[in-house]
Structure 1
Amino acid sequence: MGIVDRQEVRKLAEIQNSGPIPYSTHDLALSVATSFFDHPDYVNSLKDFRALVLLQAIMWFQEGLVAPVWVENFEKILTKLEQPES
């Protein structure tokens, strides 16, 4: 795909993982994804992947791999992005 540079993803993951909030691997992945999906530079280019990533997040939740709060936050962000701008 190559929409978001791997170095940007790695840098953000390292920053978030070094903070006070403990992350599982899947929590961190979803948190980083949420940041990029909500970032103005990527909103349009990642639009086609929203449903796929939300489905993956739900599957991770069902498998107990991600905390519910991360899935809820991601869903809220996607819902906000789907709303027409006023």
Structure 2
Amino acid sequence: MGQDVKLNRVETVLKDLEYPISREDAIDGCEDVTLVLSEGEENLSEIVAESSGDRFESMDDLENEVFNLLPRHAVGEPYQSEGEG
């Protein structure tokens, strides 16, 4: 059974992977994870599969790549935050 994870909690999934990790192993490790975005959902393994990198040295490397590959609308309106007003 898959899990739904909000984008701002993606590190809870990525921290469970062993680093360094190949792109293929990262894809396999994220296969059952659905990212809940501000507008819709995306399968995390499909996002990782779009990466041109072959390997991720750390969780931060993979997390940065995921954020770079997301469409702009995935993270909400530009210049807006989900922080408390």
**TM-score by shorter chain over 0.5:** no
What TM-score, normalized to structure 2?
0.34
More strand by share: 2
More helix by share: 1
